[in-house]
Amino acid sequence: MNLPTHLTSLAHAYGCAGQSKRGLRLLVKAEEYVEMTGERVDEAEIHRVRGDLLCALHDAAAAEASFRRAIAIAQVRAQNFRS
């Protein structure tokens, strides 16, 4: 179904439209779906987009934490891919 992909894309679009808080709410749903199904393909992207939305809301510390989490997840996925 790729629901996390669609929710993350919609969250990004809300951010582009100046509705970052609405986008953040969608990312919560995307993350809940990831946890429920184990469909983790877009997990790093969820956190990256969250970082962008938090930057737009001027929450630098939370944005940095989201970006760092996105990087950590992507590194683990890349390592697993190479193995």
CATH no., domain 3-82: 1.25.40
Tokens of residue 81, six digits: 């891919």
Q: What is the spatial distance between Cα 17 and Cα 71, in angstroms, rounded to a whole number?
A: 25
Question: What is residue 14's predicted lDDT score, i.e. its pLDDT?
Answer: 98
Q: What is the pLDDT of residues 35-51, one digit of tens each?
A: 999 988 999 999 999 99
Q: What is the pLDDT of residues 17-39, one digit of tens each?
A: 999 999 999 999 999 999 999 98
Of 27, 34, 32, 50, residue with least CA distance to 2: 34
Q: What is the pLDDT of residues 56-83, one digit of tens each?
A: 999 999 999 999 999 999 999 888 888 7
Question: What is residue 21's predicted lDDT score, i.e. its pLDDT?
Answer: 98
